[in-house]
Amino acid sequence: MRFLFLLPLHLLFIGCVGIGTVYSEKQSSTTAAVLEHGTIYGSKNSPTKEKIIAFHGEPYKKIIDGNRETWYYKKGLAWGGIIPVVIIPIPLLLPYGYNETVIQLENDQQISIESDHTISPTAMCSLVPMMWLVHGSTNSWCHVFKSW
């Protein structure tokens, strides 16, 4: 019975509680858009097969349709789940596949790239006014961080 009384008091003193999620999201861009901002391959020209293989290595899967090729690369495990935060974060995550990068080429030149990226938006709530400043919000009980 005392525990039920002390729990709300305890949450007041630790400053904040929250929950976060972890999942993958696809980001796509055409080569023209990438070239406007520079490229990871080191030149302002559309990347060729040789530059892509030098940077990423050989793809684990290729699909060829006429003069268009699609290359698939695995970038590591994709994780998904939730992270409750009470004093310390407790990750409850499971791997559910692989993050991928998919590159499309036409006539030996890259035309688009699509990559999976892991994001983890987290909501934190607090009753302690000092924690509101840490969260970056002065007029709200809760704040959502887009990604950590």
Q: Flag whether 5 is in a domain.
A: no
Domain total of the chain: 1
Host domain of residue 121: 15-145
Collapsing DSSP to helix, strand or coil, 117 comes out as strand
What is the pLDDT confidence band of residue 8, given thresholds at 50, 70 and 90?
Answer: low
H-helix segments, the chain: 2-14, 31-36, 49-56, 129-135
Domain assignment present for 106: yes
42 within a domain of the structure (yes/no)? yes
Q: Determine, yes or no, domain membership for 58.
A: yes
User: Does residue 2 belong to any structural domain of this protein?
Assistant: no
Q: Model confidence over 61-106: pLDDT tens digits?
A: 999 998 899 999 998 888 889 888 776 777 788 888 888 999 998 8
- Alpha-carbon distance of 10 to 65, in angstroms, equals 62
> Is residue 6 a part of any domain in this protein?
no
- Confidence band of 6 (pLDDT split at 50, 70, 90): low
Least confident of 52-56, 62-66, 120-124: 120-124
- Alpha-carbon dihedral of residues 96, 97, 101, 106, nearest 10 degrees? -120
Measured distance CA(81)–CA(36) in Å, rounded = 36
DSSP 28-48: EEEHHHHHHT--TTSSSSPPB
Task: Give the predicted TM-score (pTM) of the model.
Answer: 0.64
